[in-house]
Amino acid sequence: MSDDIERSPLLLTKGLEEEVYTGTRDGEVVGMSHRVAADLPGFATEPDSRNVEFTTAPYRSYEILVDRLMTKRCRLRNYLKDQGDYTLIPGSTLSLAGSEDFQISNPQNPYYQHIRDLYGTKVVTASTHVNIGIDDAEELLRAYRVVRTEASIFLALSACSPFLHGEIPGGHSMRWLVFPETPRGAPFFRNQRQFVDWVEAQLRSKVMFNPRHLWLSIRPNGMDTPYGITRLELRICDRLTRPRILAAVVALLEARVWQVLEDPALDPLLHRDEQWLIETCARNEQAAARASLESRLVDWRSGAERDAVEWIREIAESAREAATAHGFERWLEPIEEILAEGNLAQQWLREIGRGKTIREVIVGAIEELNRIDAEYHPDCPSPVEFMPVG
């Protein structure tokens, strides 16, 4: 990829954060993040040791962005294999029956202690966060307002957590159903001054432990948040494992942000009461967590309830013009594939309907994702190395 394309002003900068479970080839999750973070530069612990986090720097190019993520993912795969034939476990919840005790990765970290004591294993989930760089704080907040009203569609596209502790509770994203939104009912933030004042008030009241203890479907963020906000962070997605699907979701988000930046009238607060927006978004997120692409969601523009697939298809089509103008429309193509074939949660539940057990589904997904990663990146362990033993 040439430097000219990477510096292209036609594309926004994008960065990825991936949280993933580590464990055995038969689907058992094993806490190893403290070991990984100690041995591999660029990898970090989460509060519970069963999650490992790694990130990319921000890039404009989709090819470079996905390649950098896959390079790190494959580095982690090789490390785990060398530690005793461990691997990455798909899904965004602890799918199989096992320990429901919090396995703190660093008992000396007061933030981790706080999370353990307050939330327990509700936070032991895996996800993909997408960051879009926006220099102007007020424009960033307008993009936050629009994308927050539509965050449920990104969850519907990415849902991959229909199992929890060996059970099938009935949701498609059990991760989002159990994850503790903090604080609840956050405003739509009309400007940065309101954002700063609100965050400071949450810190004084100890509702938030620190400025990043803001766990919403999407949030303004930056190195000096809330005073310096430079990126929009979409947090609602379950873990996006397949590179093509990951890039498509990022492209849909970037295209929607471009629409906001290029149309000052695109702002929910110009058309809807804020309390209605807060309540509607909360209902939509819960509906998408329960039934993903099979859900019915309320379109903030019309106030009407509609099928999730229909709404997503309409938003994707409207965003295509912006994607074409900025030269990344081809990355949107897999969105229709997801709508036609279903997300991973739907695919896994269909396997259950054909008689498979949860463990059989998870083991099959482990093997499939091994193959996908190895086909994408030559540094990943060969799938042959992960053939069932005996």
Q: How many residues does the chain have?
A: 390
Among residues 173, 169, 174, 178, which one has the least CA distance to residue 159? 173
pLDDT tens digits for 104-136? 999 999 999 999 999 999 999 999 999 999 999
Average pLDDT value for residue range 206-228: 97
Side-chain-side CA neighbours of 252 within 13 Å: the count stands at: 27
pLDDT tens digits for 175-205? 999 999 999 999 999 999 999 999 999 999 9
Could you tell me the CATH number of the domain that includes residue 289?
A: 3.30.590.20
In a domain, 6, yes or no: no
Compute the radius of gyration of the chain from its Cα atoms.
20
In a domain, 389, yes or no: no
In a domain, 7, yes or no: no
In a domain, 5, yes or no: no
Peptide bond into 107 cis (omega under 30): no
pTM: 0.95
Give the confidence band of 8 by pLDDT, cuts at 50, 70, 90: low
Give the confidence band of 377 by pLDDT, cuts at 50, 70, 90: confident
pLDDT tens digits for 248-301? 999 999 999 999 999 999 999 999 999 999 999 999 999 999 999 999 999 999
In a domain, 215, yes or no: yes
Count of the separate structural domains present in the chain: 1
- The predicted pLDDT at position 310 comes to 98
Long-range contacts of 353-361 (CB under 8 A, 24+ apart): 358/95, 358/96, 358/163, 358/166, 358/168, 359/26, 359/27, 359/96, 361/163
In which element (H, E) is residue 285 found?
helix 274-291
**Please, which residues have CB within 8 angstroms of residue 141's CB and are 6 or more apart in sequence?**
189, 190, 191, 192, 195, 220, 229
Give the confidence band of 3 by pLDDT, cuts at 50, 70, 90: very low
Bridge-based pairing of strands 14-23 and 87-89 is: antiparallel
**Please, which residues have CB within 8 angstroms of residue 187's CB and are 6 or more apart in sequence?**
194, 198, 274, 278
- The predicted pLDDT at position 90 comes to 96
Position 4 pLDDT exceeds 70: no
**What DSSP designation does 49 have?**
T
Q: State the Cα–Cα distance between residues 94 and 307, nearest whole angstrom.
A: 29
Written in H, E and C, the secondary structure of 318-335 is HHHHHHHHCCCHHHHCHH
**Please, which residues have CB within 8 angstroms of residue 348's CB and are 6 or more apart in sequence?**
160, 162, 163, 361, 365
Bridge-based pairing of strands 43-45 and 218-221 is: unpaired
Average pLDDT value for residue range 18-32: 96
The answer to whether the CB of 53 falls within 8 A of the CB of 110 is: no
In a domain, 1, yes or no: no
In a domain, 43, yes or no: yes
Question: In the numeric block, which tokens belong to residue 44?
Answer: 């970090």
The residue segments making up the domain with residue 21 are 12-384
Q: State the Cα–Cα distance between residues 294 and 207, nearest whole angstrom.
A: 34
In a domain, 340, yes or no: yes
Peptide bond into 183 cis (omega under 30): yes
Position 99 pLDDT exceeds 80: no
Q: How far is CA 2 from CA 8, 56, 63, 102, 317, in A?
A: 10, 18, 11, 46, 29
Q: State the Cα–Cα distance between residues 221 and 106, nearest whole angstrom.
A: 25
